[in-house]
Structure 1
Amino acid sequence: MPKVVSNLWFAEQAREAVEFYVSVIPDSRIGSTTILPAETPSGPPGSVELVEFTLGDQAFLAMKAGPLDSFNHSFSIAVLLDSQAEIDRIWDAFLANGGTPEACGWLKDRWGLSWQIVPRKLGEMIANSDRERAKRVTEVMLGMVKIDLAALEKAFKG
């Protein structure tokens, strides 16, 4: 069975970013770290660092390899949570660490990576077969910055 790993290219501070992510996201851990011993297009021997880590059940590889392309909204990490307390804790931790809030539960961390800090129920409510309920939830969610689970549930109930 193949293993799929998302690769995140950091200009600098890959290890610092990973340490922050695993400290905030439950059931996360850092695996191995490798310093490339050969010269690469990014620099001399030792200038590229690879950090394997897991957030929840998702595998990632962070690579510190100098500037290339910046992160953008075409890739984000969604953290699906079960309570408002979890949403608040993780949201607040990202903002306290230099993150910037965006719309609809999205934020950018201090390294420019996009995150969606959202309740697990949101996907279920939006996909509900009662399209009027789904529409109400979607309209309420579109007016939010940080997600308010109680407001979404209220919109869902009508």
Structure 2
Amino acid sequence: MECGDEAAIERHRVHLRSATLRDAAPVALHLLPCEVAVDGPAPVGRFFTPAIRQGPEGLEVSFRGRCLRGEEVAVPPGLVGYVMVTEEKEVSMGKPDPLRDSGTDDQEESPLERDFDRFIGATASFSHFTLWGLETIPGPDAKVRGALTWPSLAAAIHAQVPED
């Protein structure tokens, strides 16, 4: 790497609020084949209440006049999925922090927390989700399927090789 490139790399120290993992309530998730140009909370439950029906090729639903087809996908055994939120340190200064372990607003920042630029925490958990595709069920080459196969592949790569 050239010296000039090092200045372009932005480094962040991230703190995971582990207590949020224990308190994350299970939710039903849908991975839709679309992008939303906004990053933040939204009252999705008010606007997306799918009338899912079982079709000949799997699950079917209509979304904004388009046919979506999907299937339930399980998180690999032994793992749990989490819906995470990020909070920048500058944003959190002086404001209530939804990721804090306690609901009090007058907590002082610990010396450890002063070393972090960003905080993340879980707002929900899941063990399965519905994967939707436009007109067809997403195939085996879908990025999410590759991500879900990684834990077993990583375990195989790092497993001890038996001696012959």
TM-score by length of 2: 0.23
Structure of greater Rg = 2
Higher RCO structure (Cα 8 Å, ≥6 apart) = 2
TM-score by length of 1: 0.24
Higher helix share: 1
